[in-house]
Amino acid sequence: MAQLAELLDAKLTGDGQCEITGLATLQNAKSGQLSFLSNPSYIGQLKTSQASAILIDEKFIDSCPSNKLVTPIPYVSFAKATALFDNSPMPPMGIHDSASVDPSVVLGKNVSIAANAVIAANVALGDDVVIGAGCYVGESASLGNACKLHSNVTLYHRVVLGKNVVIHSGSVIGADGFGFAFDGAKSVKIHQLGGVKIGDDVEIGAGSTIDRGALEDTEIGNGVKIDNQVQIGHNCKIGDHTIICGCAGIAGSVTIGKNCIMGGGSGVVGHITIADNVQVSAMSLVSQPIPESGMYSTGTIQAKTSLWKRNAIRFQQLDSFAKRLKKIENSTDKKQVN
């Protein structure tokens, strides 16, 4: 455990010779496992937990009878510990016999290309890149060092990935943006001439889509984390270290600042800008620019259907209520003047 404390930059209180073999929650941990306390709501589980050691903030150590790894941000330390115990299968190095790799492809060192993957012409793959089974990498795409595409990921032509980008299964990067011009009788396609540029240390969840730009590139900044089933429209600009939670939908030409959080199921209409350090709560619709940092919400709160229907009727009446109130205020003002 002393070695683990050093790796996690934590202060050890307890038996440094204790062997840690895995990770678990406080409630389900067994002897030999490491757990953590980040939410004070679970402090009652410390006394009954069978974990051999617990990552914990110093202010809670008196409540913990186990070996302790003291750290100011236990959840971050736990995240680092998961990397030490990662049990994901290691891909074999080299190119599978069934993969199709164009002769013009530039291959870095220690590249792994799995079965039935297709790598088109003029693609550049950096060192330690992993391409999963059934992936497609389009013409002139570029992947930086240590990128990993899980199975059945599609990268269209001229998609650029920085270093250490992870894209999970079923995601599509660089499909055409939703661009059409109506001529009075039918919709005329606007061909999407831009690309997609993704920064370093980005992770994209399963089944998510990022459209290519119409003229300029769609851009995803460094450290951005995108959950499953997220749609990002053409020409969007997503700032560094922003988090976009599951099922969020972002229309075209939206600019989102740095260190933002878009809650699950939230939506953003096109052609607006959101400032740095903004949090949008789940299921909210952002329909106008947000120029200042802070937390923003839209929609109505959960209620029993009967009450919700009555409130909805009142909501429809707000305009008439406001007009009536204005009349009353004007009448009161006149009486005070007289």
Other Cβ atoms less than 10 A from the Cβ of 66: the count is 22
| Same-domain status, 156 and 272 | yes
Note down pLDDT in tens along the chain; length 338 residues: 899 999 999 999 999 899 999 999 999 999 999 999 999 999 999 999 999 999 999 999 999 999 999 999 999 999 999 999 999 998 999 999 999 999 999 999 999 999 999 999 999 999 999 999 999 999 999 999 999 999 999 999 999 999 999 999 999 999 999 999 999 999 999 999 999 999 999 999 999 999 999 999 999 999 999 999 999 999 999 999 999 999 999 999 999 999 999 999 999 999 999 999 999 999 999 999 999 999 999 988 888 999 999 998 998 899 999 999 998 888 877 667 65
Range of the structural domain that residue 18 is part of: 2-84
Residues in Cβ contact with 128 at an 8 Å cutoff, skipping those fewer than 6 apart? 108, 109, 110, 111, 145, 146
Give the total number of structural domains in the chain. 3
The token pair that represents 24 in the structure block: 């678990």
| Same-domain status, 106 and 236 | yes
Q: Of the listed 96, 150, 191, 234, which one is catalytic?
A: 234
Task: Quote the CA–CA distance of 156 and 206 in Å, as a whole number.
Answer: 17
| Same-domain status, 43 and 147 | no
Tell me if 171 is assigned to some domain. yes
pTM for this model (two decimals): 0.91
Tell me if 206 is assigned to some domain. yes
Q: Is 234 marked active-site?
A: yes
Total number of residues shown for the chain:
338
Q: Which pairing describes strands 11-13 and 142-143: parallel, antiparallel, or unpaired?
A: unpaired
Tell me if 225 is assigned to some domain. yes
Report the DSSP beta bridge partners of residue 107: 125
Tell me if 148 is assigned to some domain. yes
| Same-domain status, 136 and 179 | yes
Structural domain ending residue among the three candidates 42, 61, 84: 84
Q: How far is CA 51 from CA 14, 41, 257, in A?
A: 13, 18, 40
Task: Quote the CA–CA distance of 172 and 326 in Å, as a whole number.
Answer: 53
pLDDT at 338: 59
pLDDT at 240: 98
Contact 218, 224 (CB under 8 A): no
| Same-domain status, 272 and 217 | yes
pLDDT at 299: 87
Dihedral angle over CA of 272, 278, 279, 280, nearest 10 = -20
Structural domain ending residue among the three candidates 50, 84, 118: 84
Residues in Cβ contact with 305 at an 8 Å cutoff, skipping those fewer than 6 apart? none
Tell me if 38 is assigned to some domain. yes
Q: Cα dihedral sign for 24, 30, 33, 38? A: positive
- CATH code, domain carrying 57: 3.40.1390.10
Tell me if 89 is assigned to some domain. no
Dihedral angle over CA of 97, 101, 107, 112, nearest 10 = -40
Structural domain ending residue among the three candidates 84, 115, 131: 84
Tell me if 239 is assigned to some domain. yes
The token pair that represents 221 in the structure block: 């900044």
Contact 116, 90 (CB under 8 A): no
| Same-domain status, 244 and 289 | yes
- CATH code, domain carrying 239: 2.160.10.10
| Same-domain status, 30 and 145 | no
| Same-domain status, 104 and 220 | yes
The helix or strand, by DSSP H or E, that contains position 56, with its residue range, turns out to be strand 53-56
| Same-domain status, 80 and 121 | no
Report the DSSP beta bridge partners of residue 79: none
Cβ burial of 55 (10 Å; 0-12, 13-18, 19+) is buried
Task: Quote the CA–CA distance of 221 and 171 in Å, as a whole number.
Answer: 18
| Same-domain status, 107 and 36 | no
Cβ burial of 110 (10 Å; 0-12, 13-18, 19+) is middle
| Same-domain status, 78 and 46 | yes
pLDDT at 331: 81
pLDDT at 301: 82
| Same-domain status, 174 and 272 | yes
Tell me if 203 is assigned to some domain. yes
